[in-house]
Amino acid sequence: DAGVIQSPRHEVTEMGQEVTLRCKPISGHNSLFWYRQTMMRGLELLIYFNNNVPIDDSGMPEDRFSAKMPNASFSTLKIQPSEPRDSAVYFCASSYTGGPVETQYFGPGTRLLVL
Amino acid sequence: GNSVTQMEGPVTLSEEAFLTINCTYTATGYPSLFWYVQYPGEGLQLLLKATKADDKGSNKGFEATYRKETTSFHLEKGSVQVSDSAVYFCALRGGGSEKLVFGKGTKLTVNP
């Protein structure tokens, strides 16, 4: 059975360009999380959705970042315009809320480099 | 707010050595506690978890016991292997919230 799927796996872009990261959660899961991982700041939660609705976006760095979840099987994280300090690994994770202890399953990540 | 503190790395061990990675937490109520592992170039994978005091989570020879009196969830393994080389993250989920709070991670290298 497929896990969380993220695309692209690697992205190199120039400062000022728009970047779109994509995530397909595990089928049946109703919560989706976007994280950013850097050496300096570790693993940070950017935003999470429950039943396609954004619940907490307090971790989104600034207005350049936006996330959507148009349906239960797809989410995007967009950066516009991108800056070199956005270079990081971005992870998507999903879970089923309603079980005894919700466990988050992570995708392989998107490695973003902004030049 | 909720927070997790884990020992600074990196940790370097020889194969078959005993491993301990310390983790302490601050939280209101009764959080659930987790250890995640990240192998090079991959996402995080759940290693083990515990949901209440005195619970012991275990998987692949790793163990951790939820100690409420010391607010700790230390990770242990009796005999590490080269394949255990990875970054280990302690995390908690506070009551009523879906958010995971992670420690900064501890990099483990096991040499043959």
Nearest to A93 by CA among A3, A2, A1, A8: A3
Q: Mean pLDDT over residues B90-108, rounded?
A: 87
Say yes or no to pLDDT of A99 above 90. no
pLDDT tens across A30-45, in order?
999 999 999 888 899 9
pLDDT at B7: 86
pLDDT, chain A, mean: 93
Contact B98 A55 (CB under 8 A): yes
pLDDT at B8: 82
Nearest to B106 by CA among B92, B91, B78, B86: B86
- What six digits make up the tokens of B53? 């005091």
Say yes or no to pLDDT of B59 above 70. yes
- What six digits make up the tokens of A38? 């850097």
d(CA A2, CA A25): 9
Answer for the pair B86, B71: CB distance below 8 angstroms, yes or no. no
Q: Among partner residues A4, A48, A105, which is closest to B98 by beta-carbon distance?
A: A48
CA distance A109 to chain B (A): 6
Share of chain A above pLDDT 70, in %: 97
pLDDT at A97: 79
